[in-house]
A = this chain, B = another copy of it.
Amino acid sequence: MQSLDAAFLALADPTRRAILARLALGEATVMELAEPFDMTQPAVSRHLKVLEGAGLITRRVDGTKRPCRLAPQAIVEIDRWLDWLRQAMARNYDRLDDVLAEMQTEEGREKP
């Protein structure tokens, strides 16, 4: 489950999500990715390292350039976890004790 830590943490930063959004349009180099941000190149390099470490992007070597692209791996893992949670939630909504608890909140517990 440790990779979920990395993946969710990577996605928790708006800059990194913006980078992913840019990569959704296609491959881009570090400089291309850095350009729209009010941020230095080393900062972007670090964000890319985080994204790569989380399995959200991959990088190839092209001369001095390191073009980045989206990688499906981490997303798949996140999806699996969310699917599981979503299903557990759905099952839960059918359980009687929850319904009863709800009723208790709405009715009996309104300060008498």
Contacts and interface: CB of A to CB of B under 8 A. Distances in A.
A32 interface: no
Given A70-B92, A89-B70, A97-B27, A5 B12 contact: yes
Copies of this chain, count: 2
The binding surface of chain A is classed by DSSP as helix
Interface residues of A, number: 43
9 contacts: A1-B14, A8-B8, A12-B12, A21-B88, A61-B105, A69-B98, A75-B89, A78-B82, A79-B86
Interface of A: 1-2, 4-5, 8-9, 11-14, 17, 20-21, 23-27, 60-62, 67, 69-70, 72, 75, 78-79, 81-82, 85-86, 88-89, 91-92, 95, 97-98, 101, 104-105, 109
